Chain A
Amino acid sequence: MPGADKETDLTERIEAFLADLKRGGSGTGPLRGSGEMARETTYLLRRITAQARWSSAGDLMEIIRNEGRRMTAAQPSETTVGNMVRRVLKIIREEYARSRGSSEETEQQESLHKLLTAGELSEENFRQHFVHLKANVIEAINELLTELDGTTDNIAMQALEHIHSNEVIMTVGRSRTVEAFLKDAARKRKFHVIVAECAPFCQGHEMATGLSKVGIETTVIADAAIFAVMSRVNKVIIGTQTVLANGGLRAVNGTHSVALAARHHSTPLIICAPMFKLSPQFPNEEDTFHKFVSPHEVLPFTAGEILSKVNVHCPVFDYVPPELITLFISNIGGNAPSYIYRLMSELYHPEDHKL
């Protein structure tokens, strides 16, 4: 039966995706950028919308929420997956509301009045069946995909507003967004980039070779020298893995030291992050915040006997509080960290914050 085939096909794809997530996070599989992750997730969600069996928006949301929960459980540190799931849920809600005919704004805004009077509205509303809902949702997801494709270019287009000539810019590790940002500015301006290599993965080396190939004056420094050279740096431009709900960052380890050094020298800290990295999480979940990888990156097995007598830690992420950040540059423009909470309400529905 074609329906059953489609279903098994779908479940296969979902399982493959989950397996990929689990593998990719341990560092052994190919390291994939967040943009790719987001796109893959959205493709999968579109496929689920197209192929799964559902009759009303509520069913679809239930299905997507379940799959989303499984996906985030497979790799908790990969927040873009959860973000995309929430975006799609919001899209479904919007399309449903539009189909019903009610205006969108009243549904979304949380006001005290609404909280007191209409608590039971949300649940039952999504039971109505609309013919064109599927098509609308799929169209909206396609728009989301186009937006995802254009994020890096949108951010890179703003580069010339922020970089002037003869600047010294510092960056940490490797971020595709920052690389595109700097390369775009380098077309018209001449400046110098200092890349901190970011041990133990040393992704800064790749970044440096990429930048120097287009003729940008690049210098690679060890992590330990960050404070030493910070006094000559004019701007610090970095990427991040996640932007948290309070405006803080979960970025690659070593970023907090960079942020503190920048604050000590009053150097602006600019974060280039597309909107799909914005996550409604807060940083106070101690056990899920940090992710660790194999300590042999730090102390290899060749070190010998002492391995059994010492504790070795290799955390992957760092928390950077919002007070240390000057500016967020995203595909919708530049924002201060204090505005992040507002952007969140535009992207996600408050009920979807907990999947």
Chain B
Amino acid sequence: MADCGEPDGPGNKDDIARSKNEGKELTKEEKQRLRKQKKQQKKHKERKNEKGPSETEKDETPVSLLPPPPPVATQKAPSALPAPASAPIPVPASAPFHSSPAPSPADKPAKSKAELKAERRARQETDRAAKQPGSSSSGIKTKVPLSELNPVVKRLPEHVQVDDPAVVKRLAKKLERQQIPLRSDYGYKVSLFSHLHQYSRKAPLTQLLSIPSTVIHPSIVRLGLQYSQGIVAGSNARSVALLHAFKQVIRDYTTPPNEELSRDLVNKLKPYISFLNQCRPLSASMGNAIKYIKKEISNIPSQCKEEEAKTKLLKCIDRYIEEKIVLAAKAISKYAIEKISDGDVILVYGCSSLVNHILCEAFEKSRKFRVIVVDSRPRLEGREALRRLVQRGISCTYVLISALSYILPEVSKVFLGAHALLANGYVMSRVGTSQIALVARTFNVPVLVCCETYKFCERVQTDSFVSNELDDPDDLMVTRKGKTQLENWQDVSSLGLLNLVYDVTPPDFVDLVITDLGMIPCTSVPVVLRVKNLDQ
């Protein structure tokens, strides 16, 4: 981070060097100062390249500390212009502060502030004059760092651009700045999916963190570990766990002096979100929840006291969970129970908390039906669903997805859960869902998808390749009769294992989507999204 090698006043140099060596979290002021130093250096470099000789004269001015430029309110600011042209611009990151060209700053005594201000103003006039005649490129270049913060066009998320080295480098820099370790990819990636990450479960991100972690709140660390090891799985469970962890963060948060809660808390949450993203890519429901929280935080009025603000936020989060997840489940069950009649044979796939809830509710209301649970390797989530249903007393049958054609002639309805509903009507769900929908359509069995509205997402996708998640490839290995066939798959260069997590189902396979707003066809998702956006 502090790699600009900017020669600074002796006092600050030591501070920064000390903190860097001790590895403590840099204070806010130091971070901002370093950021500004970098910006100035970039600006200077461009100007130097453009203006050549005229600049060098200006560089003769002393390099002592100048008062900060008015807009940014910080204490000590670095010099506006770096070392004079005589000394080579200290660029390499390895050049530590304390060995920077010491003679130059120490020599020049500090001029009076007024004189320095006048000099700076004169310099700015000449710059502006020089800029006029059409060397507008440098102006745009200096503006680039600012505009990057507010892109006009939606940028592609980083986790689907792993094959682009520039994007990977940018992510690494961002993580370094936030002091989060970068997780490295594992194993041979199938060429069709080289644009996605593939991590190993045996190397969790938390191994690279120092203990105790000062950057990331411990409940977030725990949550990240639970995500990456698969202990918390399923989009509702993940969202609820995330919101609870954020509640803990808010409870433990104290506003630092001279800071506003609305802005500072959002900035505090950013490294946490990056960390969680590194542990396991965020789901669409989590993304919506985070957007909601950020909006709520930034809407806190500045005159609100801290305690009041915190209780307000905690109440907001509780209300979100209550409305969007718990009450939505109740509403969906009510609609869905109308669709379950006596004597039905219902097929479910994997473990969807919502579908399990619906079936348990229907059973409570004394509907007579039996359930067929279809499961698939390697996750085998259906066993969990089976346990939950059997505990309630529902009679169940259990098969693997390869036996689907055998069991489907007995089935009267198929209930599926969803991870997200995309704006073009495609259903993104656990891998295998599209296969079930396809075979059910062939046997003329109705397919009903149950999904809460907070999982609706504005992305569009037509196939399962462009945006997906790759799970640990070692999960596909299995030991049968004492032999593991794929034990040494890493040694064979032409062998790859592919463990997809999600797939998209085209809307023509789905007959009905049951949401808390009612029963809609798959193609009405953008209508709901628009209505939601208008409401908010």
Interface residues of A (CB under 8 A from B): 197-202, 205-206, 208-209, 212-213, 215-229, 231-232, 253-254, 256-257, 260-261, 264, 290, 298-299, 303, 306, 309-315, 318-319
A residues within 8 A CB of B430?
Answer: 224
CA distance A314 to B500 in the complex (A): 24
Report whether B407 and A215 are in contact in the complex, using a CB–CB cutoff of 8 Å. no
CA distance A257 to B405 in the complex (A): 7
B533 within 8 A of A: no
**Which single residue of chain B is at the shortest CB-CB distance from A206?**
B485
- Contact sample, A vs B, 7 pairs, CB 8 Å cutoff: A209-B486, A215-B494, A218-B496, A222-B499, A227-B434, A257-B435, A306-B390
**Which single residue of chain B is at the shortest CB-CB distance from A290?**
B406
Contacts A206-B485, A225-B500, A256-B405 given; does A310 touch B432 at CB 8 Å = no
A17 to chain B, nearest CB (A): 24
Q: Within residues 65 to 121 of chain B, which ones have a CB less than 8 A from any CB in chain A? A: none
- 1/0 per residue B373-413: CB within 8 Å of A? 00011100001001100100001111111111111000000
Report whether A200 and B435 are in contact in the complex, using a CB–CB cutoff of 8 Å. no
A257 touches which one: B386, B402, B496, B504 (CB < 8 A)? B402
Report whether A260 and B439 are in contact in the complex, using a CB–CB cutoff of 8 Å. yes
**Which single residue of chain B is at the shortest CB-CB distance from A304?**
B387
Report whether A220 and B496 are in contact in the complex, using a CB–CB cutoff of 8 Å. yes
Contacts A202-B480, A224-B431, A227-B438 given; does A209 touch B492 at CB 8 Å = yes
Report whether B432 and A224 are in contact in the complex, using a CB–CB cutoff of 8 Å. yes
Nearest 6 CB-CB pairings of A with B: A224-B432, A254-B402, A205-B485, A256-B405, A224-B376, A212-B495
Report whether A253 and B402 are in contact in the complex, using a CB–CB cutoff of 8 Å. yes
Report whether B485 and A299 are in contact in the complex, using a CB–CB cutoff of 8 Å. no
**Which single residue of chain A is at the shortest CB-CB distance from B405?**
A256
Contacts A205-B485, A221-B500 given; does A226 touch B390 at CB 8 Å = no
B residues within 8 A CB of A260?
Answer: 438-439, 442
B232 within 8 A of A: no
In the complex, which range does the number of interface residues on chain B fall in?
35 or more
Contacts A225-B500, A306-B387 given; does A311 touch B438 at CB 8 Å = no
A residues within 8 A CB of B402?
Answer: 198-200, 223, 253-254, 257, 318
B498 within 8 A of A: yes
**Which single residue of chain B is at the shortest CB-CB distance from A198?**
B402
Report whether A228 and B464 are in contact in the complex, using a CB–CB cutoff of 8 Å. yes
A203 to chain B, nearest CB (A): 9
Report whether B377 and A313 are in contact in the complex, using a CB–CB cutoff of 8 Å. no
Report whether B497 and A220 are in contact in the complex, using a CB–CB cutoff of 8 Å. yes
**Which single residue of chain B is at the shortest CB-CB distance from A224?**
B432
Report whether A310 and B386 are in contact in the complex, using a CB–CB cutoff of 8 Å. yes
Contacts A224-B401, A313-B406, A318-B405 given; does A219 touch B435 at CB 8 Å = no
CA distance A227 to B402 in the complex (A): 12
Report whether B463 and A231 are in contact in the complex, using a CB–CB cutoff of 8 Å. yes
B376 touches which one: A199, A213, A218, A315 (CB < 8 A)? A199
Report whether B383 and A299 are in contact in the complex, using a CB–CB cutoff of 8 Å. yes
**Which single residue of chain A is at the shortest CB-CB distance from B502?**
A228
Report whether A309 and B390 are in contact in the complex, using a CB–CB cutoff of 8 Å. yes
CA distance A291 to B403 in the complex (A): 12
**Which single residue of chain A is at the shortest CB-CB distance from B503?**
A228
Report whether A225 and B400 are in contact in the complex, using a CB–CB cutoff of 8 Å. no
Report whether B405 and A312 are in contact in the complex, using a CB–CB cutoff of 8 Å. no
A218 to chain B, nearest CB (A): 5
A238 to chain B, nearest CB (A): 13
**Most A CB atoms within 10 A — which of B383, B405, B407?**
B405
Contacts A209-B495, A222-B377, A228-B464 given; does A306 touch B386 at CB 8 Å = yes
**Most B CB atoms within 10 A — which of A206, A256, A310?**
A310
